[in-house]
Structure 1
Amino acid sequence: MRALVVWVVVGLGLLWSLAALTIVGLKWIDPPTTAVHVQRRVQAWVDGVPYRERYTFVPLSRISPNLQHAVIAAEDARFYQHHGFDWQAMEIAAEGDMDGKRLRGGSTLTQQLVKNLFFGTNRSILRKGAEASLVPVAELVLGKQRILELYLNEVELGPGIYGVEAACRSYYGTSARSVDRDEAARLAAVLPDPRRRRPQAMNRYSGIILRRMGQMGW
């Protein structure tokens, strides 16, 4: 039993090291896929349903500031102030859970990026621990602009739709560079539940996001 525990610990350590090295590589290399992409593909195969993946990686310079600002306002308003964890947002999210009025979770963009890259939608305690240990690595190695670029390109925004370029092409028939404020806010509004929400139906929440953008000087 002791030998088994040792091997498990060593194995977990190797997996963590591989993930950390992958994060280092992502400073220069755009990811061809993520754990969420693979998870959705496997789910479709198991369920026997058609699956079409749309995923186009574009540099941050080709993503409208409207879209960058809308996603930050919707998902992580203190993105440029925190170092990977926003304890204030976590507390607000916990209070929202208690009264049933939560609009978004307490996870930062960095936490969501690490989860999507390596763990998919698995909610285990083990995943949470591994995620928490990798977030500081991502913040230290990648920096805010690269984290934002990676997040905007890999995030799930609909069935088989990953990244803002593919989403803008699918929903608006235009590029991520060309969306206006309203379109950006509507797209950001689908993030809490991208497999069921659609931008055209996000009237109330997109209005909240637009107000947040204005309060943040955007």
Structure 2
Amino acid sequence: MPVQHDIAAERDLWDAYASSTRNDVTDAEPVFNWTQYQGHGPGTEILGNPASALEIGCGTGRALAHLAQRGIRAKGVDLSPVMVANTTKRWGPLGVEFVCAEVLEFLAENRATYDAVYSVFGAAWFTDPSRLFPLVAARLNPGGVFAFSHPPAIPGAHGPQGMYKGGFAGPAMFTYRYSYKPQVWARFLTRAGFRDPEVRTLDAPTPGHIGTLLATAIKP
């Protein structure tokens, strides 16, 4: 059953997250990781050889900075104005453009297209895929790559999942993330018009630790 996102409340949540991770922006170096484990898993080759890339839910912007250093036109969209201000100050000199917007509105209203659109523990995890994926497809050039990663679903827990910020104390700040089996993610991609969907779970570097779901698909 669809859930109703309170965008204003979620913006407050992501502003709080941005404030707590400020040092991850100001003191960080560019890096591109699909998984939650530093130096683990594949790299930017997942995106092919794009001339332009859009990250949806770009967070600290470190991945975009890495792409910009490789000569790729890099743009990120994030819901938090605090995060966008921090990342613009840190990575803007590299040529990265950051936009503060709700991702569905941005993709529907902004007509620019890209060779790659991706999400690393970002908007593809926190946005209804039945609404998001068709908009992503519309923003990709033919042959472009859509790729995203986030933790795999907990067994038996599928669909939208509520998530509180912090340690279950303090103001009730929450959002929704979306969890499905790999074959369900692949169906969402196919229904949105993508071809060759591949959705798999990468094992963690330590046996028994949480893996990473990684999905890719191509715009015909």
Same fold (TM over 0.5): no
The one of the two structures with greater contact order (alpha-carbon pairs below 8 A, sep at least 6) is: 1
**TM-score, scaled relative to structure 2:** 0.23
Structure holding more strand per residue: 2
Structure number with larger C-alpha Rg: 1
